[in-house]
Amino acid sequence: MLCALECGLTKGANMAESKRQLAGALEQLMEQKPLDQVRVSEIVALAGVSKQTFYHHFTDKYDLMEYCFRDMFSQQFDRMTTLAPFGECYLDFLTRCRQRKTFLRNGFTSQDVNSLYRVMHHALRDAYGKRVRVCGAPDEGAVGFCLDFFSKGCAGCTRHWFDQGMDFSNEQLVELISLCIPAGIAKYFQ
């Protein structure tokens, strides 16, 4: 019985390690080229795992990219779900974007339906939805519509910021995004 438990723990640790290896390999490759040019065979070769292991964890490279994105911004998204001042939270997010700009730029070039824009929109939408629920507001109806609209706008502005060479300072972009908060949810984003 103890061996089965130990073997299960070892297998779980190995699975978590292989997931981290795959994420590290994709991040390394995306520092060199756009996501659409990265092949699963390159990811598994660099990670030192099999394709079977890759497909055990992820459905495709876009799923892996989403995992990497959410992991690299987990602290920023967690902070956005609190009642911390929105401007400070988004400023923290943009600072992290600057740190990972090559990875993100190469992710934004994808024209796939599962692009980084979609991933960012959904990640921001999740964080913003949790933020309003912390205030006791339902994440549905008009509030839900405003949250969806605002998260798409934030993702779009951030993508445009990358496309334009990050020409605004973080503070300028936060100010512009703050001006775009829909009236239906503005009180949750002070």
* 120, two tokens: 């960012």
Sign of CA dihedral 94, 72, 68, 39: positive
- Residue 166: which region, alpha, beta or left (left: phi > 0; alpha: psi -120 to 50)? left
What is the model's pLDDT at position 167? 87
What is the model's pLDDT at position 134? 92
- How far apart CA 96 and CA 133 sit, in angstroms, is 25
What is the model's pLDDT at position 12? 52
- Put simply, whether the predicted model's pTM sits higher than 0.75 gets the answer yes
What is the model's pLDDT at position 163? 85
What is the model's pLDDT at position 168? 87
* 129, two tokens: 């939805």
Architecture in CATH for domain 2-59? Orthogonal Bundle (1.10)
Low-confidence ranges of the chain (pLDDT < 70): 1-13
- How far apart CA 93 and CA 91 sit, in angstroms, is 5
What is the model's pLDDT at position 8? 47
- How far apart CA 115 and CA 111 sit, in angstroms, is 6
Which residue, chain included where needed, has tokens 């997931």?
19
- The segment(s) of the chain belonging to CATH 1.10.10.60 are 2-59
